[in-house]
């Protein structure tokens, strides 16, 4: 890396950015849940907690440790991280969007630079990592090509950092909004991301250490694929044989989401084809 890093990535800084990002998006708007549903869900959640406290004879010292940890999660801004790592995968399964779907995670930023159907994601001149060509076609479930479909891609760099959530990276590094051609085809040139370690210096990190877990997600590409009149697919794609593919801290790997890129002819990188079939809205 040629840039001199003057600022360290911290849990609190990436947590604050993720909290800010979440607050600004549509889905975070208040919903008018009816009283009965709130009563049911919260009562069941509390009853499950009461049961655990009783069965394990949780002490006052442990209760206070929990209380202080929960307070710290908020102060670190790590609620988006905690929830997306340990709960979102079940919400996604229940939503059952499609077999192709996966969780969004805390690091999506809307409005990445718009790019033509064949494009290179914004990256530094000396971006480290194996070049990867990710190409494919967006169609409807009926196989009809979706002209001008939008393929948004975002992923970590070779050090496992996401732009806008770690210091020292160009604003839109490794983030782009690719507009497919008339046949729904796209070719995205990027680099293969590295496995991602969730911040270890914040409250989620403390939990992981305290529980003897590891903090890793396998290397992954994030995607949102959409077209007018069709349902958005939010997904992630992983790499065959990669570290943590069978042991993701966020439990978000599905076999159909694992890519197996092949070396390109001159051995200058790898390429893979992956198609998207969107349901009608």
Give me the residues that bind ligand MBD (CB under 6 A), please.
81, 84-85, 103, 105-107, 196, 198, 217, 250, 252
Total Cβ atoms within 10 A of residue 47: 10
106 touches Fe ion (CB under 5 A): no
Give whichever of 78 and 227 is closer to ligand MBD, judged by the CB atom: 78
Q: Which does 73 bind (CB under 5 to 8 A by kind): ligand MBD, Fe ion, none?
A: none
Q: List the x/- string, 28-67, binding to Fe ion by CB under 5 A.
A: ----------------------------------------
Stretches 2-10, 21-29, 101-109, 144-152: which one binds Fe ion (CB under 5 A)?
Answer: 101-109
Residues 6+ away with beta carbon under 8 Å from 1: 126, 128, 159
The token pair at 88 is 């979102």
233-239: strand order across its sheet: 114-115, 175-179, 150-155, 221-226, 233-239, 258-259
Query: Closest-CB residue for Fe ion?
Result: 105
Q: Which residues pair with 5 in a beta bridge?
A: none
250, interface contact from ligand MBD, Fe ion, none, CB < 5-8 Å by kind: ligand MBD
The token pair that represents 90 in the structure block: 């079940």
What is the Cα–Cα distance from 276 to 213, expressed in whole angstroms? 34
Find the binder of Fe ion among 77, 80, 101, 105 (CB under 5 A).
105
The rounded Cα 195 to chain-centroid distance in angstroms is 12
The item of ligand MBD, Fe ion, none sharing an interface with residue 80, based on CB under 5 to 8 Å by kind, is none
Site for Fe ion, rule CB under 5 A: 105
């Amino acid at each position: 890396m040629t840039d001199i890093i003057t600022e360290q990535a911290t849990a609190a800084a990436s947590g604050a950015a993720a909290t800010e990002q979440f607050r600004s998006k549509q889905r975070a708007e208040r919903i008018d849940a009816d009283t009965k549903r709130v009563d049911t869900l919260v009562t069941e959640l509390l009853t499950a907690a009461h049961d655990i406290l009783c069965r394990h004879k949780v002490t006052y010292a442990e209760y206070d440790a929990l209380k202080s940890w929960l307070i710290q999660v908020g102060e670190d801004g790590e609620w988006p991280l905690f929830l997306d790592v340990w709960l979102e995968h079940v919400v996604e399964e229940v939503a059952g969007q499609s077999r192709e779907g996966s969780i969004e995670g805390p690091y999506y930023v809307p409005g990445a630079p718009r790019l033509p159907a064949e494009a290179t994601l914004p990256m530094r001149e000396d971006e480290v990592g194996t070049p990867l060509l990710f190409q494919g076609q967006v169609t409807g479930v009926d196989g009809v090509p979706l002209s001008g479909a939008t393929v948004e891609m975002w992923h970590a760099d070779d050090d496992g950092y996401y732009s806008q959530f770690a210091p020292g990276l160009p604003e839109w590094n490794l983030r782009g909004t690719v507009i497919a051609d008339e046949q729904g085809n796209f070719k995205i040139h990027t680099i293969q991301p590295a496995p991602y370690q969730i911040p270890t210096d914040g409250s989620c990190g403390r939990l992981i250490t305290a529980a003897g877990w590891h903090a890793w997600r396998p290397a992954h590409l994030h995607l949102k694929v959409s077209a007018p009149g069709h349902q958005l697919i939010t997904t992630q794609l992983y790499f065959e044989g990669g570290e943590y593919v069978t042991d993701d801290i966020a439990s978000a790997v599905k076999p159909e989401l694992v890519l197996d890129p092949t070396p390109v002819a001159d051995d200058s990188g790898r390429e893979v084809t992956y198609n998207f079939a969107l349901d009608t809205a």
